[in-house]
Chains A and B, each alone.
Chain A
Amino acid sequence: MSDHDYRPKSKVGQWFNDRLPLLTLANHLTDYPTPKNLNYWWTFGGILTFCLITQIVTGLTLAMHYIAHADMAFESVEHIMRDVNYGWLIRYIHANGASMFFLAVYIHIFRSLFYGSYKSPREIIWILGIIIYLLMMAAAFMGYVLPWGQMSFWGATVITNLFSAIPLVGEGIVTWLWGGYSVDNPTLTRFFTLHYLIPFLILGLVVLHIWALHVPGNNNPVGIDIKKPSRDTVPFHPYIVIKDGFALLMFMIVFAFFVFYAPNILGHADNYIEANPMVTPAHIVPEWYLLPFYAILRSVPDKLLGVVAMLSAILILAVLPWLDTSKIRSAVFRPLYKQFYWILVADVLILGYVGAMPAEGLYLLIARVATAYYFLHFLVILPVLGFKEKTLPVPLSITEPVLGGSPNLAAARDKESKIE
C-alpha cells in the first residue's frame, strides 16, 4: 500500500502531518483497496457505525432531561415525551434506534456466518465483534431499565437474578449488583452510569474492529484471498462510500417508518406502567433481540444449567473460527454448509418466537429441540462438515466469475494451473 509514501500537497498539510500523521490516516481510509464484488450485505458495517453515533447523540440529549432516581425517572421520561421540545422524537429515535442497531448487527453477524468472514486471518476482527455484541446487549438491557416502568423493573430483577445461580457467592453478587436487597434506586443510578459509559467502550472497540479489518482487508462474496491493490479491488472512496451511503438511506427509511408510524410496536405496553415491586406483570418478555437467548435459558429446567446454556450460546460464537474446520470461506462453494446455514437461521428465528411465548406445553418442547439443535450446529455439524463436505472449485480471482467466458482468462487459468 502507498500509505507510507503519502505526502500532503499543501505546505501546512505537510507541517501538520509530520507532527501528527492524521492526513496519512485519512489517505489510507480513502484509498483503502476494497474487493470490487462486495454486495449489499457488506454495507451493514457502515450502517452500524451510523446506529452507534445516532444512539450516542440522542442518548446525550436525553440525558440532559432524564432524572436517574427511582421516584422521578418514570415521570421524567413522560416529561421528555410531553414537555421537552422534540423530546418525543429524540426518545423514539433512541428507543427504536436500539432495535435498529440489533437488526443491523444480526444481519452483519449472519453475513459473516454465510461468507466465512470469521475465518483465518480474520479471527481477531470476529472476536472483537463478539465483545462489541456483548457490550451492546449490556447497554440495551441497562437502557431498558432507565424508564423505570414495570418491564424495566422486572426485566432488571430477572436478569440480575441470573447471577444468583452461581454457587456460594451468587446471592452476595446479586446484592452487590443491586446495592440493596432488591432492585431499587441504587440499582437505577449505577445502571444509568454504566449505560452512559458502555457506548464509548463500544466506540473504542469499533476503532480496533476496523483497524483489525484493515490489516487483511475485507472478505468478499467468493471468499478468496485477493491481491491488494489489484484489478480485483477498488478504492474505498468513492466506490464503497457511495454504495454504503445508498444502503444507509434505504435503512433509514425502515428506521423512520418505526420512529414515525409504529414507535411502540417493538416495546411493551407494560412499560408505560410505573415500576411496582409488589406486582409482577403476567408475562415478562425481554426485548425482541434477546428472545432467542431467553428461550435457551427457559428451555433448561435447572437454574444454574439454564444460565450456563444461555451464556454458552453467546460465547460459543467466540470460538467459532476454530469450530469451523473448513478451509473454504464462502458458503457459495459449500453446498452442504449452505443448507445447514439456513437451518441455523430458521432455528434462531424459532428460538426467538418461542422465547416470546409462555414456557409451557408445545412451546417448551420446541424450545428444547431448537436449543439442542443450536449447540449441535456449532459443536458437531460444523467441525464434521469441514472434513466430510465436498466443496465446489473456487475461482482464482474475483474477476473470473464475472468474465468467465473470456478466452484470455481461460488461457490465463490454464497457464497458472500448469505452473502449479
Chain B
Amino acid sequence: MNSYINYFKSKRDNNKSYLKCLKKKTKRRDFLFTATTAVGAVGAAAVVWPMIDQMNPDASVKALASTEVDISSLTPGNTLTVLWRGKPVFIRRRTQEEIDEARSVKMEDLIHPEKDEDRAKNPEWLVMLGVCTHLGCVPLNDKGDYNGWFCPCHGSHYDTSGRIRKGPAPWNMEVPKYEFINANTIKIG
C-alpha cells in the first residue's frame, strides 16, 4: 500500500517539475509566436500594398495631364465641351447678363459659397469640370431654375457661375487648373 502511495507521490512530484519545465518552454514559445506573427504581419502588409496600389491611376493615365483647346470659334452665350482626363470640361463664353447675374448673387444664398470673381478670373470665360458633384453625371447647358446648368440624373440646378443652387449635389462644379496661353488658346491641367 505504501509503495503505491509513494509511487503516486513521486509521480506528482515528477508532474510538478514537468509543469515547471513546460512553463519555461511556453515562455520561449510565446516569444517565437509573437515574433513570427509580427514579422508575418509586416510581410503581409508589404505584399498587400502593391496589390492595392496597382488599382490606382497608372503612369500612362497620369501622363495625360493637360490638354490645349482652341477657343477662337466660340461666340458669347455658347459652351464648348472638351474631354480632359476622361471628363468633360465646359468652356463657356458668358454674355454680360450671365456675368451680372452671377456676380449679383448674395453669398448667403449659396449652398457652397464661392465668389464668381474667384471662379472666373476673366469674367467672360467660365472654365469648369462638366461633372455634377452629386454622382458624376454631365449637367445640361442653359437649363434649370438658375439659367445655368441642370443635371438630369437627380435634379441638381447650377447657376451661371456653375454654383450649386438647388438639389442633392453638395458642391459647385469644380474649376480645374487652367491658363490662357494666348487669346485663342486655353491649356487645361
Asked if B38 is an interface residue, CB under 8 A from chain A, the answer is: no
A158 contacts B137, C-beta separation under 8 Å: yes
A191 to chain B minimum Cβ distance, whole angstroms, is 12
Asked if A177 is an interface residue, CB under 8 A from chain B, the answer is: yes
- Given A182-B85, A301-B168, are A280 and B138 also a contact pair (CB < 8 Å)? yes
B55 contacts A182, C-beta separation under 8 Å: no
**For chain B, what secondary structure do more than half of its interface residues adopt (helix, strand, loop), or is it mixed?**
loop
Asked if A162 is an interface residue, CB under 8 A from chain B, the answer is: yes
A180 contacts B152, C-beta separation under 8 Å: no
B86 contacts A180, C-beta separation under 8 Å: yes
Task: Report chain B residues within 8 Å CB of A306.
Answer: 168
A138 to chain B minimum Cβ distance, whole angstroms, is 16
Task: Report chain B residues within 8 Å CB of A334.
Answer: none
Interface residues of A in 258-285 (CB under 8 A from B): 277-284
B57 contacts A303, C-beta separation under 8 Å: no
**Given the complex of chains A and B, what is the CA–CA distance between A321 and B183 in angstroms?**
68
Task: Report chain A residues within 8 Å CB of B88.
Answer: 277-278
A89 to chain B minimum Cβ distance, whole angstroms, is 34
B152 contacts A181, C-beta separation under 8 Å: no
Interface residues of B in 119-153 (CB under 8 A from A): 134-139, 151-153
Which residue of chain A has its CB nearest to the CB of B169?
A303
Contact with A along B55-93 (1 / 0, CB 8 A): 111100100000000000000000001010111100000
Neighbour of A157 across the interface among B61, B137, B139, B154, CB < 8 A: B137
Task: Report chain A residues within 8 Å CB of B55.
Answer: 176-177, 179, 186, 190
Task: Report chain B residues within 8 Å CB of A277.
Answer: 83, 86-88, 138
A70 to chain B minimum Cβ distance, whole angstroms, is 10
B153 contacts A158, C-beta separation under 8 Å: yes
A182 contacts B86, C-beta separation under 8 Å: yes
Asked if A360 is an interface residue, CB under 8 A from chain B, the answer is: yes
B105 to chain A minimum Cβ distance, whole angstroms, is 21
B58 contacts A186, C-beta separation under 8 Å: yes
**Given the complex of chains A and B, what is the CA–CA distance between A315 and B61 in angstroms?**
36
Neighbour of B135 across the interface among A158, A177, A278, A301, CB < 8 A: A158
B138 contacts A278, C-beta separation under 8 Å: yes
Asked if A183 is an interface residue, CB under 8 A from chain B, the answer is: yes
Task: Report chain B residues within 8 Å CB of A182.
Answer: 85-87
Asked if A359 is an interface residue, CB under 8 A from chain B, the answer is: yes
- Chain A interfacial residues counted at CB < 8 A: 36
B138 to chain A minimum Cβ distance, whole angstroms, is 4
- Given A190-B55, A284-B137, are A180 and B85 also a contact pair (CB < 8 Å)? yes
Neighbour of A303 across the interface among B81, B134, B152, B155, CB < 8 A: B134
B137 contacts A180, C-beta separation under 8 Å: no
Most buried by B among A161, A179, A181: A181
- Given A277-B88, A278-B88, are A298 and B61 also a contact pair (CB < 8 Å)? no
**Given the complex of chains A and B, what is the CA–CA distance between A162 and B154 in angstroms?**
13
**Given the complex of chains A and B, what is the CA–CA distance between A284 and B88 in angstroms?**
18
B56 contacts A157, C-beta separation under 8 Å: no
- Given A162-B135, A179-B55, A182-B87, are A280 and B170 also a contact pair (CB < 8 Å)? no
B86 contacts A184, C-beta separation under 8 Å: yes
Which residue of chain A has its CB nearest to the CB of B134?
A303
Contact with B along A277-319 (1 / 0, CB 8 A): 1111111100000000000001011110010000000000000
**Given the complex of chains A and B, what is the CA–CA distance between A197 and B167 in angstroms?**
38
**Given the complex of chains A and B, what is the CA–CA distance between A177 and B136 in angstroms?**
14
Interface residues of A in 314-344 (CB under 8 A from B): none
A303 contacts B61, C-beta separation under 8 Å: no
Task: Report chain A residues within 8 Å CB of B170.
Answer: 302-303
B108 to chain A minimum Cβ distance, whole angstroms, is 19
**Given the complex of chains A and B, what is the CA–CA distance between A183 and B83 in angstroms?**
13
A175 contacts B57, C-beta separation under 8 Å: yes
B130 to chain A minimum Cβ distance, whole angstroms, is 8
B90 to chain A minimum Cβ distance, whole angstroms, is 11
**Given the complex of chains A and B, what is the CA–CA distance between A190 and B153 in angstroms?**
25
B186 to chain A minimum Cβ distance, whole angstroms, is 17
**Given the complex of chains A and B, what is the CA–CA distance between A306 and B134 in angstroms?**
11
**Given the complex of chains A and B, what is the CA–CA distance between A158 and B137 in angstroms?**
7
Asked if A74 is an interface residue, CB under 8 A from chain B, the answer is: no
Task: Report chain A residues within 8 Å CB of B83.
Answer: 277-278
B112 to chain A minimum Cβ distance, whole angstroms, is 12
Task: Report chain B residues within 8 Å CB of A154.
Answer: 137, 153
**Given the complex of chains A and B, what is the CA–CA distance between A359 and B151 in angstroms?**
11
Which residue of chain A has its CB nearest to the CB of B166?
A301
**Given the complex of chains A and B, what is the CA–CA distance between A303 and B155 in angstroms?**
12
Task: Report chain A residues within 8 Å CB of B56.
Answer: 175-176, 179
Neighbour of B136 across the interface among A158, A175, A179, A282, CB < 8 A: A158
Pairs of residues from A and B, 5 with the lowest C-beta to C-beta distance, nearest first:
A182-B86, A181-B85, A161-B136, A161-B135, A280-B138
Can you list 9 A-B contacts (CB < 8 A)? A157-B137, A164-B135, A175-B57, A176-B56, A179-B55, A183-B86, A186-B55, A280-B139, A280-B151
Q: Which residues of A contact B (CB under 8 A)?
A: 154, 157-158, 160-162, 164, 175-184, 186, 190, 277-284, 298, 300-303, 306, 358-360
Known: A179-B55, A184-B86. 20 other contacts (CB 8 A): A157-B136, A158-B153, A161-B136, A164-B135, A164-B136, A175-B56, A177-B55, A179-B61, A181-B57, A182-B85, A182-B87, A184-B61, A278-B83, A278-B88, A281-B152, A284-B137, A303-B134, A303-B169, A303-B170, A358-B155
